[in-house]
Structure 1
Amino acid sequence: MTWDLVAKADPNHFPETTPAMNDLTPPLSGLSSVGGKSVFARFDGGMLSSNSGVLALAEVEKRLRVAERLARCIDDPRCPDQVVHSLADMIGFRMKMIAAGYEDGNDANRLRCDPIFKMAQDALPSGRDLASQSTMCRLENLPGVRELVAMGRAMVDLYCASFRQVPKRIVLDIDDTFDAVHGGQQLRLFNAHHDEYGFQPIVVFDGDGRFVGAVLRPAKRPSGAEIRPHLRRLVRAIRSNWPNTRILIRADSHYCSPPVIDWCRANDVDFILGVAPTTTLRKHVADLKASTLARFETSSKTGKVRRFTEFVDGAASWSRVERIIARVEIGDQGADTRFVVTNLAGGKAKALYADLYCRRGAAENHIKSWKTHLAADRTSCTRATANQFRLFLHAGAYWMMWACAPRCPSARALPSPNSTRCVCASSRSPRGWSR
């Protein structure tokens, strides 16, 4: 109001930039010239945003249709003629918030007015605001158990749809990760190893870093009776899309149990699983360990000596003996022996362990990206169903980031000084979008 009165009182006060009589944002006077040029500061720049990258994520989401897939799994109890924000719009807004670094639902109160987020949701910057925090809270508490099971199936369908052609073989990396909680959430459990209360969800990625699924569960080691139904639903959903694709399950010793091994054999599923060392297993490699130690003693002792072997054996609780591969490593810090069990018939012991099993370490990096960069461990809702839904929301954000990664420029895309041609980044799917 003050600036408007000045402009009316002295229309020649700003001879080059006199605002109109109804302009409420005239320029700021009194700024010194720079290089002989006059400097004017104005306050009519319009709506601004620092989240322009969300528009790229919006294009990816339109192709993946993650929000639409998840929204179709939820029964909307609202009256259709009174709906302002559809379920797909709210889910899409929430996933884009997470991908942009706004993992808290409270951020919706500020971002609902952001012009970029509005455009990402196919709304004009001057149009209606997006959903608020209270609306997001009601959304997260809306799905029940049946809806969440359907969402898990939808995530598998999204995974299968991400391939251009049906693969002959896929590798599924199954792992669990600790998720600390600081409230009275359902399913929380004290974990002595981490000395905290929390969850320990089971997360599944494929060998190329695609997200396949996640299940919220208490913070304890999963049993075979718990893992088997999860594998059954997962494999059944994949085979409904790809009946003839071979599936290899790869996991650490947490998942090596008689129910899992027997189920994989009965359902024609390949597996390679870590095995906890036992006295019986160590007896099989006693001679190899002694000869490996002798080699290390006669060497320069600057590196490590690794040797591999295989044999057939089984625990007393197993229904049959299995092929077991052992790796013996001797270094300056002592001996380290590892075992894996597999039903794969071919391949040498070294290749199966070093080139196949050890690649499951990439899944830990994917989980790290999911938790560190997308805050997937922000499971602060009271109800377990709401926290499970959050895992799917963060999974959708991961999918958007993963799909964007091959299209982002890399250091290899920069032209060399002696070249006029730009070397394009690889179009191959990355093993981790966060690298």
Structure 2
Amino acid sequence: MNHSTLPLPGLSPVGGKTVVARFDGGLLSSDAGLLALREVEKRLGVAERLAACIDDPRSQDQVVHRLADLIRFRLLMIAAGYEDCNDATSLRADPIFKMAQDVLPSDRHLASQPTLSRLENVPDARSLLRMGRAMIDLYCASFRQVPKQIVLDLDDTFDAVHGGQQLRLFNAHYDEYGFQPMVVFDGEGRFITAVLRPAKRPKGTEIRAHLRRLIRAIRTHWPTTRILIRADSHYCGPLVIDWCRANGIDFILGVASTSTLRRHVAGLEASAKARFAAAPTKGKVRRFTEFFDGAESWSRVERIIARVEAGEQGSDTRFIVTNLAGGKARTLYERISCRRGTAENHIKAWKTHLAADRTSCPRATANQFRLFLHAGAYWLMWGLRARMPKRSLWRLAQFDTLRLRLIKIAARVVELKTQIRLHLPSACPDQTVLRLVLGRLPRLVT
């Protein structure tokens, strides 16, 4: 039996005194740091941007919770670690969640779980297209001034599903049914867009169509900004390369190793192996070279950069292709191409720390909307982290660390006639950081 007036069983005495614990504290919350995320959301306007893309089918004279309020509630829930709509049953009465929605602790409760679940099925395909554009607009609005160059990292991630969802597909590599959403981040970790798709390798026509929509939307904001595309080998195809060249887009793409490419580096591989064998205690030997070549399906030869590495496990050779004219091979590979690996960390933050893989709705449109909701929560956490001092470890903190240290703070809420007082723990170890972040939030770009 679960009742707030019943004491918790099994607690041992302390100092000879009995411990009695009940869930009857009243206006208490364990998520006081949400008020900082509220300020981030107000400046970014994520909820309002997404809500503006949806045609509300409800009778407006009977609406209690606006679409923007529903979306904001979901964004805050996801950011705080409550990715399941069922948690709204309790959180709708939480005083901090109410305040984050500009609702007084003593006022009406927030939206219920059924209301939030119905919300996920409201957007249609046209609404989702508008949301995709709104996410790009949000990305462009996050800069203080027009950048001279941006780097876009394209990648995809497997999302296992366990039902009869639309678009699900069996993937032999993972031996499961699932989706394989295509996601795009920029070089600094800003979220740009996500597209729900079946669990299979994207074809060149699909990648080209996705790039065309993405670049066209960015160009409406920044016509002269230089754009560099980074991706791994299965994004490297003749359609993608030719489209990038035709539209003035720089690219650095991984290339799958072939016998033709290996012939260019056979001598270098032998030399690297010999150097490592002569001095194995000095560690791996890494060498670089470049040449012009191309697959038979390519319309022209391209600049290929090869990295040859020899070590205890043998030799390892990797290839990338680029249309960049300058720069040394080592510099382009290590300082530009290899930094594409940070996109894996961004996907981890979005998928693992913010549970973006909760795509369990039967309809594909609802699951695509969920991707955008979790992308919005990503923006809230990214905005909070972006206000940290540049040289501090907080600037590199994972989202789950930020949640644990800055969001999950206990608070007692006291509502008076003219003010609301929050009594936070005096022993909170990160109160200095929270003060600093709140002081810097007014400078967050909108």
* TM-score interval (norm. to shorter): 0.7 to 0.9
Name the counterpart of 1:321.
301
Give the direction of change, closer, same or farther, for the CA distance of 1:131–1:425 in structure 2 (3 Å limit).
closer
Kept after mapping to 2: 8 A contact 1:406/1:425 = no
Q: Does 1:270 align with 2:250?
A: yes
Correspondence for 1:335 among 302, 315, 318: 315
Distance 2:223 2:246 in 1: 16
Once the two structures are TM-superposed, the CA of residue 254 in structure 1 deviates from its matched residue by 1.2
Instruction: Give the letter for the 2:244 counterpart.
Output: C
Q: What is the RMSD of the two structures over their aligned residues, measured on CA atoms?
A: 2.5
Correspondence for 2:208 among 210, 228, 233: 228
Once the two structures are TM-superposed, the CA of residue 406 in structure 1 deviates from its matched residue by 3.3
Kept after mapping to 1: 8 A contact 2:388/2:394 = no
Distance 2:170 2:80 in 1: 32
Instruction: Give the letter for the 2:38 counterpart.
Output: A
Name the counterpart of 2:67.
87
Secondary structure of 2:29's partner? coil
Name the counterpart of 1:179.
159
Kept after mapping to 1: 8 A contact 2:385/2:394 = no
Once the two structures are TM-superposed, the CA of residue 41 in structure 1 deviates from its matched residue by 11
Instruction: Give the letter for the 2:37 counterpart.
Output: L
Distance 2:383 2:436 in 1: 14
Secondary structure of 1:380's partner? coil
Secondary structure of 1:306's partner? strand
| Aligned ranges 1:352-363 → 2 under 5 Å | 352-363=332-343
Instruction: Give the letter for the 1:343 counterpart.
Output: N
Q: Does 1:211 align with 2:191?
A: yes
Q: Does 1:111 align with 2:91?
A: yes
Instruction: Give the letter for the 2:75 counterpart.
Output: M
Give the direction of change, closer, same or farther, for the CA distance of 1:117–1:271 in structure 2 (3 Å limit).
same
Once the two structures are TM-superposed, the CA of residue 43 in structure 1 deviates from its matched residue by 9.7
Once the two structures are TM-superposed, the CA of residue 74 in structure 1 deviates from its matched residue by 0.4
Name the counterpart of 1:369.
349
Correspondence for 2:137 among 157, 174, 198: 157
Distance 1:353 1:347 in 2: 10
Distance 2:194 2:25 in 1: 44
Distance 1:135 1:260 in 2: 42
Name the counterpart of 1:21.
none
Instruction: Give the letter for the 1:286 counterpart.
Output: A
Secondary structure of 1:113's partner? coil
Give the direction of change, closer, same or farther, for the CA distance of 1:44–1:138 in structure 2 (3 Å limit).
closer
Secondary structure of 1:353's partner? helix
Q: Does 1:386 align with 2:366?
A: yes
Name the counterpart of 1:405.
385
Once the two structures are TM-superposed, the CA of residue 397 in structure 1 deviates from its matched residue by 0.4
Distance 2:151 2:86 in 1: 38
The structure, 1 or 2, with the larger RCO (C-alpha pairs under 8 Å, 6+ apart) is 2
Name the counterpart of 1:20.
none
Distance 1:411 1:295 in 2: 39
Distance 1:67 1:412 in 2: 26
Correspondence for 2:329 among 344, 349, 354: 349
Distance 2:21 2:258 in 1: 75
Name the counterpart of 2:423.
none
Q: Does 1:132 align with 2:112?
A: yes
Kept after mapping to 2: 8 A contact 1:272/1:342 = yes
Correspondence for 1:47 among 27, 50, 55: 27
Show structure 1 runs of 5+ residues with no match. Answer: 1-24, 26-33, 414-421, 430-435
Report the structure number with the largest CA radius of gyration: 1
The aligned length equals: 384
Instruction: Give the letter for the 2:187 counterpart.
Output: G
Distance 1:303 1:41 in 2: 59
Instruction: Give the letter for the 2:236 counterpart.
Output: C
Correspondence for 1:291 among 254, 258, 271: 271
Distance 2:217 2:21 in 1: 60
Name the counterpart of 1:300.
280
Show structure 2 runs of 5+ residues with no match. Answer: 6-13, 396-431, 441-446
Instruction: Give the letter for the 1:389 counterpart.
Output: F
Distance 2:232 2:23 in 1: 59
- 1:219-261 Cα deviation digits (max 9, x unpaired): 1111101101100010001110000100000000010011100
Name the counterpart of 2:411.
none
Name the counterpart of 2:39.
59
Distance 2:214 2:288 in 1: 33
Name the counterpart of 2:236.
256
Kept after mapping to 2: 8 A contact 1:202/1:215 = yes
Distance 2:47 2:39 in 1: 13
Once the two structures are TM-superposed, the CA of residue 301 in structure 1 deviates from its matched residue by 3.9
Once the two structures are TM-superposed, the CA of residue 133 in structure 1 deviates from its matched residue by 1.1
